[in-house]
Structure 1
Amino acid sequence: MTSNIIVTTGIYDAIKDTLRRKKVSVGEEKRLAEELRKAKQVRRRDLPADVVTVDRKVTLKDHTQNLENEYIFVSSVKAKPKKNKHSIFSEIALAVVGYKVGDIIDWPFKDGERKIEILKVEPWKG
């Protein structure tokens, strides 16, 4: 389990802005604020390849619902959920952004606490 998330400065600032605008539930807001306080900020080129961020294809296992899904995390303007392109600010993306392959995260989703494992992270060129 990663102790601190790793995010680019741009993603860090954008998540802070999302929190300021109250775009998430109270539980998510508390958790994200805590994550950001301890987050390691890096330049995009210094972000490890196995860390969840924008423009990455990510395979997740939801241990709570016993489901495995693949997501493509993109900027908000490119998001098309029907084509499996999810905004980096979607609920599932915010839960795993900054974590890496092998991490298991207990996250306070709007519909209740769920345990999510990151199985695979790949670059995605849209």
Structure 2
Amino acid sequence: MKHLIINQNDSARIKRLVADSNNRKKYQTKEIYNLLQEIDKGKCFAPENVPPQVVTMNSIVRIRYMDTGRTVDIQIVYPDQADIKKNKLSIFAPIATALLGYQKGDTIEWEVPKGTITLLIEEILYQPEQAGDFHL
């Protein structure tokens, strides 16, 4: 089994968000559970040691929906920064949860409200760790 790579700061921030009882009420429990499972199965690295091809928080990622061939660029953000019109997806959204910790070239099958989808990570257009933006 391939290990996901998780920025240790991302892991700590996400777990703090989940621990907040207001977020537990606001977001679907299943999505929070799936996110925590993904983080727990990952290997945590210090931000400066995260490889540049890994999807982390605030990364901008080009994904391909394998069933339609459609590509879209999305940014994975914390809930307060989410803006669907700007393709900024909350980490609590199923697609964002699916991508966290995977790498360029990976194909992921994930359950979303409409069923199972298959995504290909085509490109990492921006990754904070690669850019030296460790504060994000």
TM-score by length of 1: 0.78
The residue that corresponds to 1:45 in the other structure is 48
Matches within 5 A, 1:26-41: 26=30, 31-41=34-44
1:76–1:111: structure 2 CA closer, same or farther, 3 Å change rule?
Answer: same
Percent sequence identity over aligned pairs: 28
Matched residue type, 2:121: I
The residue that corresponds to 1:114 in the other structure is 117
Structure with larger Rg: 2
CA RMSD of aligned residues (A): 2.8
Q: More deviation in 11-20 or 46-55? A: 11-20
Aligned residues: 124
The residue that corresponds to 1:4 in the other structure is 3
Matched residue type, 2:5: I
The residue that corresponds to 1:103 in the other structure is 106
Matched residue type, 1:62: Y
- Structure with the higher fraction of residues in helix conformation: 2
2: distance between equivalents of 1:111 and 1:82? 20
- Asked if the contact 1:60–1:117 (Cα under 8 Å) also holds between the matched residues in 2, the reply is yes
- Asked if the contact 1:53–1:88 (Cα under 8 Å) also holds between the matched residues in 2, the reply is no
Matched residue type, 1:8: N
The CA deviation at 1:33 is 4.7
1:67–1:108: structure 2 CA closer, same or farther, 3 Å change rule?
Answer: same
Give ranges in structure 2 of 5+ residues lacking alignment: 129-136
The CA deviation at 1:64 is 2.5
2: distance between equivalents of 1:10 and 1:110? 29
2: distance between equivalents of 1:45 and 1:74? 19
The CA deviation at 1:104 is 0.4
TM-score by length of 2: 0.73
Matches within 5 A, 1:84-99: 84-99=87-102
1:62 aligned onto 2:61: no
Q: More deviation in 29-38 or 93-102? A: 29-38
